[in-house]
Every structure is written in C-alpha cells, then in structure tokens.
Amino acid sequence: MSMFQSGMSLQGDISHLKNDFKLQDMLVSSPASPAAYVVGMAASEIIYALPALAILVALGAIYIHPGLFQALELTGALLLMFLTSVTIGFMFATLSSDIVQSFGWSRLLTTIFTAITPVYYPITYIPLPFRYLAYFSPTTYAAEIMQSAVGYLQLSYATVLTDWAILAGVTAILLVVVSRNARWKEV
C-alpha cells in the first residue's frame, strides 16, 4: 500500500507543477523527455517515502526474517507495484485540469487499489463469488506474491509465476498506454 500510495502521490505533484507553476510547459519546450521528467518525479516520491519505508523494512526484518531470495522477491513486487502506480498517476495528472481534481482521483484510486483488494489480508478472506473481482487489480497479484514469499499464503509455484507474469504484463501494458495517451503537450 505504501508503494502504491507513493506512486499515486506523483499525480498530485505533477498536476500542481503542471497547472499551477506551468513547469510542464517549460519542459515541453526543452530537450527533456516525458520519461526523464517522470523518472525524476518518481525518484522524488521514493525519497519522500524513505522514512516510512525504512520503518517498514525494519519491522519486516524483525518479524518476518526474510532470507535473501525472499527480500529480493518482496523488493521486486514492491518496485513493480510502484511502477504501476506511477504510470497510473502520471496518466491522470496529464488529464487533470487542477490539483483538487488530482487529489480526489489519487485518494479514490489508492483506496480502491489497496483497501478493497487483499493487501491487508489474504485473498481467501474474500467470499468466493467476489474474490474474482479482486483479480482485476494489479495490487492483488503483488499482495499474493508477497504473502506467499513470507509464508502467509500457501500458493503453488505455478500460481506465483502466473502472478509475476500478470503483474509484469499489466505494468508493461500500462507503460505503453501511458506513453501513447498521456497529454505531454496541450493541443
């Protein structure tokens, strides 16, 4: 949830810089690419989230005791989730006309992607007819990967590989969609 929220926070920041400070207008006329801009903004969101992430990593080390492979698996899932949320945040930021609109979308999407899906609990807690709805969210796959990595959810190797493939595929599709449909320049 923390990584998804950090990526979605990018939406408000970019919207503010675009609409209030007209920074994006300056960047469009410079040699900077949209990708370089988003990478810089995403790095700033990670730096801003470092204190919370440090506490979560310390708590994970104390209570979960992940091995090297588990730590890599957790880190990979978190980074893919962050990249997914950055692409969604950037897309909505380029489409929004003011910061209030961006904040509203950011909070709504963060709630939908992290509270309704099984981020805080195993997917088995969702009643079966509704469980299938959770699979429309990429956070479900990241949560399953992470819960399986630390032993909270027993999944087959094939299911974990499928979760990785879907999460990576959704992230790649979102990157392509955003790179083609985000409004970098006003038309």
Give the Cα separation of 140 and 117 in Å (integer).
Answer: 6
Kindly give the interhelix angle for 138-149 and 157-181, rounded to the nearest 10 degrees: 140
Residue-level pLDDT at 187: 42
Q: Determine the Cα–Cα distance for residues 149 and 71; give it in Å rounded to an integer.
A: 9
| Domain limits, the chain | 2-181
Q: In order along the chain (187 residues), what is the average pLDDT of each group of 10 residues?
A: 88 82 78 83 92 93 93 95 92 82 86 87 89 93 95 93 97 90 63
DSSP letter assigned to residue 187: -
The amino acid that residue 3 corresponds to is M
Q: Could you give the maximum distance between any two Cα atoms of the chain, in Å?
A: 52
Q: Cα 5 vs. chain centroid, distance in angstroms?
A: 7
What is the C-alpha to C-alpha distance for residues 123 and 68, in angstroms, rounded to an integer?
A: 25
* Burial of 179: CB neighbours in 10 Å, binned 0-12, 13-18, 19+: middle
- Report field, pTM of the whole predicted structure over 0.75: yes
> What does the pLDDT read at residue 1?
85
| Residue partners of 144: CB distance under 8 A and separation at least 6 | 118, 123, 153, 155, 159, 160, 163
Consecutive H or E run containing 49: helix 34-63
Rounded distance between C-alpha atoms, residue 152 and residue 148, angstroms: 6
Q: Distance between CA atoms of 178 and 34, rounded to whole angstroms?
A: 11
If residue 126 lies in a helix (H) or strand (E), which one and from where to where? none
